[in-house]
Amino acid sequence: MAWLFSLLSAFCLATADALTKKYFSHFSSYEMGLIRLLSIVPWLLAAIFFIPWVKPDTVFFVSLACGLPLEVLAYLSYMRSIKVSPLSLSLPFLAFTPVFIILTGWLILGETVTWQGLTGIILIVSGAYCLNFSRISSGLVAPFKSILREPGSRLMLLVAALYSVTATLGKLAIEHSNPYTFGVTYQLAFTVLIALALPFMPKASLRGLRLRPLMALAVGAAWCVSLFSHWIAISLTQAAYMIALKRTSILFAVLYGSWLFKEEHIRERLLGALVMLSGVICIAAFG
């Protein structure tokens, strides 16, 4: 069942991203992020009455304390990325999350990279190259230069690096509680942290919620299903396998980019996303 919840999480995450970009991208990145967070609060509060609660231990709270600051940075970078760049060009770079996990394990812990893991890294980098393949007429390295010039791609690489840490901390917190206690507590604490910055943002407001309340609820519902599916899936299997399946969201993102936003070069970006996803699966299954 873990694979089903992982795929459901991926689809609903891509749906929430597409709706956020379509209906709220004319606001600032902070406002986009806050609207999205507040839109999920009613669903989380409703879930409180139906989920099984457990008493967390010290490890749980330490994991939260370490993960939340990184989550804030990752989330604001994520919102900025989908605001300024095409979905089909920014979200595929989430595929680099397992690459960063391998690299940090090698640099910090001295863990050896297997041939399968190295193959996965090569596939992910090759897929990133394919995302900008149309630029090859400007030179063989032009597709890679395009990545560096695209702000959304650069930001999503940062997000992937941060998520490689927060996913591990989240798994640890779940092992010392349960998926539901962790998920609701973590998400509500995260929302409070982001909301506390509102008085210090002179131009920020919540007018997006007032102007499009139904779309905000739709975003919240999609994201809520994605989050609960994520928490259930990661409790049923290894984090690497779960994250690999969840990265199918990059394929859904490319398709949404074509359907809702008429983004260009969809075929090459879909090919690139498929190659990157194959690299993620290679790392998760054999690396």
Give DSSP secondary structure letters for 73-86. HHHHHHHHHHHHS-
First-last CA distance in the chain: 22
Domain count, the chain: 1
pLDDT tens digits for range 118-170: 788 788 888 888 877 766 656 666 666 767 788 888 999 999 999 888 877 88
Token look-up 């910055």 returns: 197
Task: Give CA–CA dist 263/45, Å, rounded.
Answer: 37
- Beta carbons of 88 and 257 less than 8 angstroms apart: yes
Report whether pLDDT(108) > 60.
no
Which amino acid is it at 29? Answer: S
Q: How far is C-alpha 62 from the geometric centre of its chain's CA atoms?
A: 22
**Residue 166: predicted pLDDT:** 85
Task: Give CA–CA dist 234/251, Å, rounded.
Answer: 20
3-state secondary structure of 230: helix
3-state secondary structure of 68: helix
Report whether pLDDT(286) > 70.
no
Q: How far is CA 269 from CA 11, 46, 81, 249, in A?
A: 18, 39, 17, 14
Q: What is the token pair recorded at 202?
A: 């002179």
* Dihedral angle sign, alpha carbons of residues 235, 237, 242, 243: positive
- Beta carbons of 15 and 220 less than 8 angstroms apart: no
Q: How far is CA 276 from CA 13, 160, 245, in A?
A: 18, 13, 12
Report whether pLDDT(109) > 60.
no
Q: What is the token pair recorded at 286?
A: 């054999």
pLDDT tens digits for range 84-102: 998 888 888 888 887 887 7
pLDDT tens digits for range 220-271: 999 999 988 987 887 787 766 777 778 888 889 888 988 888 888 888 888 8
The pTM of this model reads: 0.83
Q: What is the token pair recorded at 85?
A: 């760049």
Closest CA to 268 of 114, 127, 151: 127
What burial class does residue 109 get, using C-beta atoms within 10 Å of its C-beta: 0-12 exposed, 13-18 middle, 19+ buried?
A: exposed
Report whether pLDDT(13) > 90.
yes
pLDDT tens digits for range 168-219: 788 888 888 888 888 899 999 999 999 998 888 878 888 888 888 899 999 9
What range defines the domain where residue 222 resides? 2-286
